[in-house]
Amino acid sequence: MPLLAGCGGSRGVGDIFGESGSGPKLATPAPSAPAAPPSEASQGPLSTVPAAPSLIPPAVRADGAKVRVAILLPLSGPEARIGQVLLNAAQLALFDVADADFQLRPYDTGADPMEAGAVAQQALADGAEIILGPLFAAATTAVAPYAHQAGVPVLSFSNDEAVADQGVFVLGFLPRDQVARVVRYATAQGISRYAALAPDTPYGRSVTRALQETTQEAGVTTVRATLYNPGTGDFTQIARQFADYDQRKRALASDKARLAGREDEASKRALARLERMETVEDLPYQAVLLPDTGQRLRSLAPMLAYFDVDHRKVRMLGTTLWDDASIAGEPTLGGGWYAAPTADMRATFENRYQQAFGARPPLVAGLAYDATALLALLARDRPQPDFSLATLTAPEGFAGVNGIFRLRPDGLNERGLAVYEIRDGQRRVIDPAPQSFQPLIN
């Protein structure tokens, strides 16, 4: 495997904790970027993370020895494109932050999640002090036993809470944080009755559970939670049933029949108003959480509108999946709210990534940049870096291209997210992301 070794040249970042202040700190992009993707023997590094107390402590590194870090990614198979994006972002962070005594060794997990276990064994045999990745939950599960046995922590890019453990961190954007952020904002605006219409997938089920838990904690109500087959190509019946359309249509017909033939002016005005309506009776929910994206969401939202779930009366809510220009362009999602990382720092990172690699990176690329920069900073300019669990899980957290974040001892993460509104085809921040974890974001 090719080694990527730190050059120690273009750092341009501050101390991770600094010598003063208690707010989150981490790497910010350096002023310049490589003109072309770093070569196999160019800049980059990584470092270690502490073994949890229950793990076998790793050997102490000799002074002057290289820091050996493995990054496990799908560099072949159907997910090779996203694997390469993550590797590119890691290299960019190493160019910005790393000292020359860092070495990063990429390992290909391929298409089979179980292959990640064998790859992890090889990485550990090669002397890896920390494992960055894998990308998916199944691969992380396969890696974890070997990492635990060796006392080597894992920083996975997965967003599946089920794989988090002491010494195994998930860095992905957790559904529960996104739901909690947007629901708490909506509740503060007076919304008290929520519904979810989600794909019947692990992600959709996770988001639905998060809605139910969040509303219960906030003292409001989830009145309906409906899952649909993600393979469906026709949302007609799904939307019709979710909208209580037939029931509300019958109620309209009944009201019109009751007013028909009456000669008083009030009845005539009421009947004329009903003639312009599709249905009557209020829906039981004031907001609908739609945790989907792409063509499915662009098909589902108009179908809800067709069956008289009016986005001007019922607030549409989303997750980070909505952070997509094609979603903002869907008129029936106008006025919708969703939670996502702040775009300010990410825009700088994305521009530099495009300059270096010739394409705009997806949101997940920032995870690889932030994780790599964090590890490099924790190991930089010190004879023996402090990779203790206490340092990694410092309550003040860190600040990266996706905003502030912190790691928890149970392996989960917390992030400071902004609330966005879709309006006139554009996305705009209506509640900014916090700049620190004081007070705590839960």
* 37 vs 426, residue with greater confidence: 426
Banded pLDDT at 135 (limits 50, 70, 90): very high
* Residue 216 neighbours by CB under 8 Å, 6+ apart: 222
The mean pLDDT of 364-371, rounded to a whole number, is 95
pLDDT for 54 equals: 31
Minimum mean pLDDT range among 130-139, 367-376, 387-396: 387-396
Q: Of 366, 330, 329, 359, which Cα lies nearest the Cα of 345?
A: 366
The pair of structure tokens assigned to 335 is 């006025």
pLDDT for 440 equals: 47
Residues 143-173: pLDDT tens digits?
999 999 998 889 999 999 999 999 999 999 9
Residues 269-320: pLDDT tens digits?
665 665 555 655 678 999 999 999 999 999 999 999 999 899 989 999 999 9
Between the alpha carbon of residue 1 and those of residues 39, 65, 93, 105, 184, the distances in Å are: 13, 19, 20, 7, 47
Between the alpha carbon of residue 241 and those of residues 40, 116, 226, 307, the distances in Å are: 56, 43, 10, 9
pLDDT for 42 equals: 30
Residues 99-113: pLDDT tens digits?
888 788 999 999 998
Quickly count: other Cβ atoms within 10 Å of residue 425's Cβ: 12
* 220 vs 15, residue with greater confidence: 220
Q: Is residue 6 scored above 90 in pLDDT?
A: no
Q: Is residue 30 scored above 90 in pLDDT?
A: no
Banded pLDDT at 245 (limits 50, 70, 90): confident
* 256 vs 398, residue with greater confidence: 398
pLDDT for 129 equals: 87
The mean pLDDT of 11-37, rounded to a whole number, is 37
> If you average pLDDT over every residue of the chain, what do you get?
82
Strand 315-318 to 4-5 pairing: unpaired
Q: Is residue 411 scored above 70 in pLDDT?
A: yes
Q: Is residue 61 scored above 60 in pLDDT?
A: no
Minimum mean pLDDT range among 59-73, 334-348, 398-412, 428-442: 59-73
* 2 vs 350, residue with greater confidence: 350
- Transcribe 130-177 into DSSP letters: EEE--SSHHHHHHHHHHHHHHT--EEE----GGG-BTTEEE-S--HHH
Residues in the chain: 442
Residues 81-101: pLDDT tens digits?
999 999 999 999 999 988 888
Minimum mean pLDDT range among 10-19, 133-142, 270-279: 10-19
What is the C-alpha separation between 23 and 385, in angstroms, rounded? 21
